[in-house]
Amino acid sequence: MNDRLIKKLRNFIDDPIFFLLRQVYRLIIIYPFQLFVSLYFYFIDTFKAGNDEPNSDVCFIITSVVYPEMNKKIEYGSGRSIFNPPEREQQTLTTINSIKTKVPSAKIVLIEGGKKDWMDERTKKLVDQYIFLGNNRLVRFACDSKLKSFGEAIMLIVAFGRINFYSKLNFKISGRYYLNDNFNLSNWHSEGFTVHYVKDNDKYANIDSQYILTRIYSFSYEMINYWKSAVVKGLPYILIGYPIENTLAKFFPHKFVNFVKVVGIAGIAGSVASKVYVED
């Protein structure tokens, strides 16, 4: 009997009603939604223009919420942020400057989902594209909800059609973290996805892990629609409390996934009771 089956049996024994409700939710909502998303992106891939090419070598897509709903707690009980808007903007500025230092030729896209367009004009001029989504009703609803992953996913989904720079190699990085001296561009594969898998706080877990580090990951130009599809497919799971770290691990096609041991970022986690410096 494999581990997955054992886990399901335990879940059924612990709470049979909740277990059965989850299975109904899968059958009625999740599976039909996944089929629709798969067909949608299949037709996009099939009928897209043949001359579609990347417009740069490397691009960093930064997600940021400088001005969040400060007083609302997120799903795991802590406040959404212990940083004020000026502190969060400085963190995003540090992210931008670290990219310019480590990968000077990279394009930078900054996606901002805060309640107000707090970002300084000088900061906006440092990036190649600035996308403010805070006045979008769906983004506002998602980012102000208790589900932090819901906000991240909706921000990306709404931004998909607005991003002007899709490169040969694309990074998604969170605005609270910056590239440190351990970052090495050559560690990131030029094809497929490159991710850092984590499992039960084991920083060196293998590809069988159920979680990836979403502070930073990369994908090649050929993987763009797989990336978009994975973000969208995760929504029904995110709405019932699954973190985006789990849904992306679930829906990135494993045959295209590469593993990186040291990602080379650092920063301060802010959705906790106290400020915690992290380095990966």
Mean pLDDT estimate for the chain: 87
pLDDT > 90: what percent of the chain?
66
> Among 69-83, 186-200, 226-240, which is the least confidently predicted range?
69-83
Amino acid at 158: V
pLDDT score of 280: 74
If phi > 0 it is left, if psi is from -120 to 50 it is alpha, else beta; for residue 264 that is left
Q: Are 187 and 178 in contact (CB under 8 A)?
A: no
pLDDT score of 204: 43
Q: Residue 270: pLDDT above 80? A: no
Report, as an integer, the average pLDDT of 157-161: 95
Map residue 275 onto helix, strand or coil: coil
> Among 107-121, 192-206, 232-246, which is the least confidently predicted range?
192-206
The pTM of this model reads: 0.88
Chain segment 230-263, per-residue pLDDT in tens: 999 999 999 998 999 999 999 999 999 999 999 9
Q: Which residue has the higher pLDDT, 12 or 258?
A: 258
Map residue 274 onto helix, strand or coil: coil
pLDDT score of 83: 82
If phi > 0 it is left, if psi is from -120 to 50 it is alpha, else beta; for residue 192 that is left
Q: Which residue has the higher pLDDT, 137 or 271?
A: 137
Q: Are 165 and 62 in contact (CB under 8 A)?
A: no
Q: Residue 133: pLDDT above 80? A: yes
What phi and psi values does residue 227 have, to the nearest 5 degrees? -65, -50
